Structure 1
Amino acid sequence: MKSGDKMRTSWIRKSFRNKLLVIFILLIFIPIGFIYIIYNNVMKSIITTKYSESAKQSVYEAGSNIDFIIDSIADLSDMVVTNRDFIESLKSSSTESHEELNNILRNFCTTNEEVESIYLTTKHNIYNVGASKTYVKQGIDINDIDKTHGELVWFDTIPVKVKILSGEIPKNYFSLGRKIIDLNSLKDMGTIFIDVDETILEDSYKSLITEENSELFICNEKGQIISHPNKEIIGKNIEEKNYAKEVLSAKIDMGSIEFTDDNVEKVCIYSNITSTDWKIVKIVTKEYLYKEITNMQRYMLIGVIIYIVITIIICLFFSSQISKPMVSMRNMMKKAEDGDLHVRINIDRIDELGELGNSFNNMIGKMNEVVDKLVEEERIKKELELETLHAQINPHFLYNTLNTIKWMAKIQGDKSVSNAVTSLIKLLRVSINLGKEMITLEDEVDYVKNYIKIQNLRFNEKVNIIYNIHEDCLNCSIPKLILQPIVENSLIYGIREDEEEEPLEISIKACIEGENLIILVEDNGPGISEEDLEKIFTKEKDVNKFSKVGLNNVNERIKLYCGEEYGIKIGNRSEIGTYVKVTIPRGIMRKPTGDFLVDKEGDESL
């Protein structure tokens, strides 16, 4: 490799800025060159074809509009010759019938905007309503109608003069003529002519005359011009034109012909008017037809050159601006990788690099928040465990002492004391294992049963508790000691010292709803005041309660172990009493073996 090549290679390799510049230039020129080649070889042909098809369609639609006008005039003639009053008036020779014919014709003339005048001839009379013509150029051959049996005959446009007030104005009329045949006797009763202003046809196609040096007109099958924006050309013939023979002999509905006229390339676009033998023809130069495509190429080339120049300048600027902040960002990220979560990237930019720096700073900030949150949650968890420790007075010592008292009571025959101490021992059994924060719902229910046994001794059997727990729920894992504080809350607000007061009834229900375990505890007590409901979830500690600082502690522990979307909801029932709804994840379950399991307080197991 030559020394010059080595220097150029080294120049590209060592500079990140130069690498970006080379890549940017390649990414600019390769697609632009590819697109330009495709456009010249393919797109120009496609666009030219589409433009020609669009022009054909426009001419065809103009022809369809003219068809609609021709058909409406034909329909008018049908209405006239089939009108019963009109036929009866023709048959009559009275003066009243003459007046009636004039009125009928005048009514048809005034109700159709396209019709200028209606001219009726019979064996004995001539009737004319509408425009009053003072001059008519010879051009209508009545013999064309005499050969028919009531069919429509269209007559080419001829110049006329129409009387307006005290003067005359020139106009061009094309006409529809037909015999009037009595359908009953099939006798010839006369001839009717309906005159229409040629400008009606011009209005249908003049919106297509938008190109310079273009021409648009209507001609008949012989090439005679029926309608043209230049009225002096009406009546002339196009037989000598280069395109005339092919257009006049064409059998298709629409088409186009390329031809040369006085060394100018042109395109003739034509369409048939199906109601007659007329054709609508548009002549446009190729130069104008392809004018927009040529302009598009020119503008595209200018745009590409401007785009390349601006892009190269921008690439030079940004390639020099990118390298310096990237080095700074790399150093800060390296420190974060080494464990320094207090680093921050100071980049005073509003572009992508600035956004990247801000995103990095936000990520580090959120990582700090997550770490702080985890530390705080662990601290709260330890505090809850300490509170449990404080709530217990050496559980192992109490467990052994109470077990001795239980056997002493059994030996002396005191069953009440023995049962109470047995229940208390079972309560302490759950409290002894502090390291096990999750227990099954079945164990939690056993704990509540033993708690109720002790409370019934205290309140003289004033508490009835009903368990309605689906068997699927018994093996679900839940945080330890969440039901006892809720039952205790029912006792605090629901039990009364009055001897005549009805026993407090507590219902514990559990079922699975989707992925959640729902536990509902209800009682028939007097309910809880709104003031007390508001204080339940305060964070004030109540060391007088046996549970982990009451219902607020239960709610906090559920959220800590399960997530913020879980917890408890407390309210008064619609009739009487209170309800507490506990929502936690369903956890580990055993397969269902039956329907709901109903158990009354006092049974030894679920």
Structure 2
Amino acid sequence: MKFSSLKKLISPTVSIQGKIFVAFSLVTLLGIVAVTSIVYLYMRETVKNNAITSVTESIRQADESLNLRLEEVSRLNTVVATNKTVLDTLLSKTEEPSYEWFQEQKRIEEFLSALIAYKPYISRVAVIGLNEKVFFVGSPWLDKNILFTPMMDDLLQNGSGHAYFHQTGFNNSIVTGRELRYNRNLIGMVMFDLNDEIVRKIYDVKPTSDSMLYVVDRKNEFIYQPSTSALDRETIIKLNQELNGTDGSVERIINQTSYLVVMRKSEYTGWSTLALVPMKSLLTETARIRHMLATVAIIVFIIIVIGTLQVSSRMTRNIRRLRSMMMHVMEGNMSLPTVEIHSKDEIGQLYQVFKSMVEQLKRLLEGIMTTEKEKREAELAVLQAQIRPHFLYNTLNTVKYLAKLNGVPNIVEVSESLIELMRGVLGNTNEFLTLQEELQYVRSYVTIEKYKYVEPVHLMIEVENDELLQLSVLKLMLQPIVENAIIHGLSASECEGEVLIRIYEESKELRIDVRDNGRGMSKDQIKALFEANTNTRFSGMGVRNVHERIVRLFGEPYGVFLDSEPDAYTTVQIRFPMITRSEQEG
């Protein structure tokens, strides 16, 4: 990979600082939106509930205030209905005009005037007899024609307790009446008129400037309605019928405008009071609060974004430093910048690991350079000291030919064995060869070595199965063992030396036992033989080298194992896997 491509791969498209900044900003934004929304909805609901409570309480106070007046008037009705003067006057036979009639009128009017004194909300009190006697105090004028009006019929029909009638027209008023009886016989009616002004004062409840309040009696007649109304009479009556006198509050959309409708029904009069407050006006304050919350949220978000930018920059400062160091090393500069990272977090730990890795890489590069230099020097030395194998073969063949001419068979045998041995060792560059080829090297080596000793050396080879000879073994695996047996085992022996090589298969392994009848070794000598790297003279590899080569390639339990008894024998066993030539080549 080219440096530019590698640099492009390492360079991040989105920095960690950017990711932290975006993540913190999104979380903050969601948090602020959630909190402000919850606060706004809570405050909106609180304002709405407070408005409902306030309007309901205002209506309740207005109803109770009117009920107090009506109860007071009811008691006055009772006083009049039980007054003996009133009853005697209505039962008397006097006729108008007469002196007695004027006396009766004076007495009743004085009595009635005393009753309504200091009662400014009572505009008129009247006593009406069914015998067409009419007495009243206040205004407007009243005569016997009242007996034939719908109002009188309604009062007489419901006047057993207390009856109410809303009189409309020139003089709006609330009329409350009670029937007069003598000996259980109906003889007349007492009426009190409450002026309309007191009703307006009592029900002048306006939570907002555009709110509306209506008082409707059981006959769907308006006891009170605002002077200016955005809704018509039929809409209010229909709404009153839908709510069916249920106390409480609901939200209704009327004429495409949302209203909060608060209703209360008076248990005393049975009148329904409906307050309609436009939601838009009611929530004007919440709109201001919403704007304020939005402004505060934006300011807080900007402050948090700026803080997040600073925090993310400080958090990723060491990461940027570490990345700069990596880019510096990637460009081939193995010396780290002087600025170090002293934090104790994961970035600091990564810096320490990276620093150690760079130092180790630097040492490895220096070692590679040294090794390459030594390798070149060794190659030069090998080239300088190299002798071509065919030149050595030709020279040995010349020696062999001269020995034959001079009739020296021993030199001929040694020369042939050396030629065979050198051809196999120098000409074959493979690491593996067949067991048969390895045994041939051993025979050639023993042939050369036997002329060095006074007593002859006998080599015997026993093969359990000829197929074992075609198995692959390591090159020069057996020769060092035989050489070690001759040099260290048989050289000091005073008798003829014997080396027995036994080849067999056991536990699906190739077993090769090399046994000599030399002086043997103690356990300490055997241990020292594996610990010290004692090399042979021919190949330079000792028993330990052979063992390590086998174990390194195939692992345990393969290798070289020794068994010896001093002054008796030494047996070296080689354990090797069963490898055919095809398996070795594959």
When Rg is computed on C-alpha atoms for both structures, the one with the higher figure is: 2
TM beyond 0.5: no
In the superposition, the TM-score normalised over structure 2's length comes to: 0.42
